């Protein structure tokens, strides 16, 4: 499945500006460029010199940001037995959800539902997977839109959500909690800032470690710091980028990536 990169250079600059409460005029002065150049860049225009100039005052990596501006990087394709990704339309965007399962016992879990869980449900039936749990990365509507249908089809399923974002009928998850899905271990890490209760779930037991990160991080970008930009940056560094480089990251939007690729290519870090 080929999925477009979620954020372009102008999206990253915009998120960093909002996170640091910086206006076009502020950024122009700090970057020693004119305001019109900032406005062009925010429209997806401009040039690499302007990109480099704005990177430092925004706390972004200049050359990584230039690569994003030039469209010079896309993560490698990943195919892991026991991991299935869907990408469904929600309003004017697309959102990801995942089915992950123990390939021996055939016990599995959904991670978010996306806008439409039909493909997840069909895959579980096709693979004869017993879905015992649903883990929610956060409760923004695009990630939980089809939860009621999943619960109707699997009335005994256990739904889990971060304790800072309570949801009726769901069990609360704390940082450090560990769950079993067959022989798989699912460890919860608090990665908040985009959402007040954002959770990353690290899955061990397949051929490579996997982390479902929700909107904490995207390939080459991150979710906007809608609650706390600085805490989003901090928890991404501490809880996601501290994982082994070969860990596959499953974001809420955009393609799969890895910890190593994000260290090499993500302008926020």
Give DSSP secondary structure letters for 4-53.
Answer: --S--HHHHHHHHHHHTT--HHHHHHHHTS-HHHHHHHHTT-S-HHHHHH
Let me know whether 90 and 56 are in one domain.
no
Q: Find the CATH number of the domain harbouring 148.
A: 3.60.15.10
Q: What is the pTM of this model?
A: 0.97
Kindly state whether residues 223 and 110 are assigned to the same domain: yes
First to last CA, the chain: 27
178 and 209 part of one domain: yes
Cβ burial of 14 (10 Å; 0-12, 13-18, 19+) is: middle
What pLDDT does residue 45 have?
95
d(CA 148, CA 126): 21
Using the Cα atoms of residue 124, residue 127, residue 132 and residue 135 in order, give the sign of their dihedral. negative
- Domain final position from 70, 94, 111: 70
The CATH number covering residue 50 comes to: 1.10.260.40
Query: Does residue 88 share a domain with residue 43?
Result: no
Residue 198 forms part of a structural domain: yes
- 59 assigned to some structural domain: yes
- Domain stops at, among 70, 98, 117: 70
Residue 187 lies in a domain: yes
Determine if residue 220 is left, alpha or beta; phi over 0 gives left, psi from -120 to 50 gives alpha, anything else beta: left
Looking at the structure, do residues 182 and 228 belong to the same domain, yes or no? yes
How far apart, in whole angstroms, are the C-alpha atoms of residue 100 and residue 31? 45
Q: Does residue 170 form part of some domain?
A: yes
- Grouped pLDDT means (10 residues each) for the chain, 269 residues: 92 98 98 97 95 98 98 95 97 96 98 98 97 98 96 96 94 97 98 97 98 98 96 98 98 98 98
Q: Is residue 78 part of a domain?
A: no
Domain count, the chain: 2
Question: For residue 1, what pLDDT is reported?
Answer: 67
Tell whether 3 is covered by a domain.
no
Of 47, 165, 67, 73, which is closest to residue 112 (Cα–Cα)?
165
Residues 21 and 59 in one domain: yes
DSSP H or E run through 238:
none
In a domain, 92, yes or no: yes
Nearest to 205 by CA among 64, 100, 102: 102
Whether residue 113 contacts residue 121, with contact meaning beta carbons closer than 8 Å, is answered with: no
Domain limits for position 26: 9-70
Last residue of a domain, one of 43, 70, 97: 70
Are 181 and 217 in a shared domain? yes
243 shares its domain with 116: yes
Phi, psi of 230 (to 5 degrees): -65, -35
**Residues 61 and 108 occupy one common structural domain:** no
130 and 235 fall within a common domain: yes
* Same domain flag for 101 and 128: yes
Pair (34, 128) in one structural domain: no
Decide: 163 and 133 in contact? Cβ < 8 Å: no
């Amino acid at each position: 499945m080929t999925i477009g990169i979620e954020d372009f250079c102008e999206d990253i600059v915009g998120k960093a500006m909002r996170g640091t409460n910086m206006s076009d005029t502020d950024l122009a002065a700090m970057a020693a460029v004119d305001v019109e150049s900032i406005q062009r860049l925010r429209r997806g225009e401009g040039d690499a010199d302007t990109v480099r100039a704005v990177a430092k005052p925004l706390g972004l990596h200049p050359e990584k940001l230039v690569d994003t501006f030039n469209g010079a990087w896309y993560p490698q394709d990943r195919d892991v037995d026991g991991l299935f990704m869907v990408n469904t339309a929600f309003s004017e965007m697309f959102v990801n959800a995942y089915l992950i399962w123990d390939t021996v016992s055939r016990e599995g879990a959904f991670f978010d539902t996306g806008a439409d869980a039909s493909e997840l449900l069909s895959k579980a039936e096709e693979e004869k997977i017993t879905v015992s749990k649903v883990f929610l990365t956060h409760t923004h509507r695009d990630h939980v839109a089809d939860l009621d249908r999943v619960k109707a089809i699997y009335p005994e399923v256990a739904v889990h959500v971060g304790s800072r974002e309570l949801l009726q009928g769901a069990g609360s998850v704390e940082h450090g909690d560990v769950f079993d899905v067959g022989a798989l271990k699912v460890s919860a890490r608090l990665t908040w800032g985009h959402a007040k209760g954002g959770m990353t779930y690290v899955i061990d037991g397949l051929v490579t470690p996997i982390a479902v990160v929700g909107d904490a991080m995207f390939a080459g970008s991150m979710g906007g710091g809608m609650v706390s930009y600085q805490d989003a940056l901090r928890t991404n560094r501490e809880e996601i980028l501290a994982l082994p480089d070969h860990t596959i990251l499953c974001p809420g939007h955009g393609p799969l990536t890895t910890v190593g690729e994000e260290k090499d290519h993500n302008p926020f870090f």
